[in-house]
Structure 1
């Protein structure tokens, strides 16, 4: 006689329970995969809708405006006799209204630039790093507001178009 553990009816029920449990797992895996693929497809569709003609979508801004300043010639701080700096600067402005504002205050801007340039020694501005530091100092000096009531100037960067130390 067969024992209860080995009874044929018991094994069938256990197998059915495992099959049902396995079926639920498979359904859960398939549903997860479908959701994951749907989310990936939605993300791809969103990204592709943001591109135009293969180039990423960008908001259109006005191109920068460049303002050329007249040549600056200054005496540098004395280290080894008299040394002079002759340089031309170009200011990169955010837009034409900012360029018009800086042109309106050009005497003040030129004064600030001259004072800063004449406070330097040739050894401070000779190398590339010295020139980069000088450009950032000039930028900070030029950005300062012209009066207490006016905002600072909208200068994006200061560019050297010529730089000669004699």
Structure 2
């Protein structure tokens, strides 16, 4: 019997080439489909550069307040607060009404218990309470101030 020259080897190479060609074709088809989908997406982020505004801060003089009584007796809080506001108009509005701002802050701070304020969670809750209280309008015919963030720059519970 005569041996055929390289039959199984030839078949193996043909199979490998066919697998590679079909994989390349599938990859090209997937790329084209995904590329079309990206072009039709109206929610795709535009390449326009948005000019970022520098943040506007209002620093409030530090407070020392008596905290609500807990099992350890009377405790003190010394807190320095800086407010990040929406714009210069909001900063000027808060500066104009600074006595009311400080009064509202004193009310919120003095109602706290020392045990709550020593945890990170307690400080976050306090910041949320301050933000909520200071976001209320100061006058009847005035829009509420737009506060972005309450930052503690000094914080000592004693």
- Answer whether TM exceeds 0.5 for this pair: yes
> Which residue is 1:153 aligned to?
145
| C-alpha spacing 1:39/1:165, structure 2 compared with 1 (3 Å) | closer
> Which residue is 1:114 aligned to?
106
How many pairs are equivalent? 128
Secondary structure at 1:73 match in 2: strand
The answer to whether 1:40 aligns with 2:32 is no
The answer to whether the 8 Å contact 1:62/1:95 transfers is no
The answer to whether 1:96 aligns with 2:88 is yes
Secondary structure at 1:69 match in 2: strand
> Which residue is 2:60 aligned to?
69
Give structure 1 stretches of 5+ with no counterpart.
1-32, 52-56
How many angstroms does 1:147 deviate by?
1.4
Q: Measure the CA separation in 2 of the matches of 1:48 and 1:101.
A: 38
TM-score (norm 1): 0.68
Q: Measure the CA separation in 2 of the matches of 1:154 and 1:37.
A: 46
Find 1:50's aligned residue among 34, 41, 46.
46
The answer to whether the 8 Å contact 2:117/2:157 transfers is no
The structure with more radius of gyration:
1
Q: After the TM superposition, which parts of structure 1 deviate over 6 Å for at least 4 consecutive aligned residues?
A: 45-49
> Which residue is 1:162 aligned to?
154
TM-score (norm 2): 0.71
Give structure 2 stretches of 5+ with no counterpart.
1-27
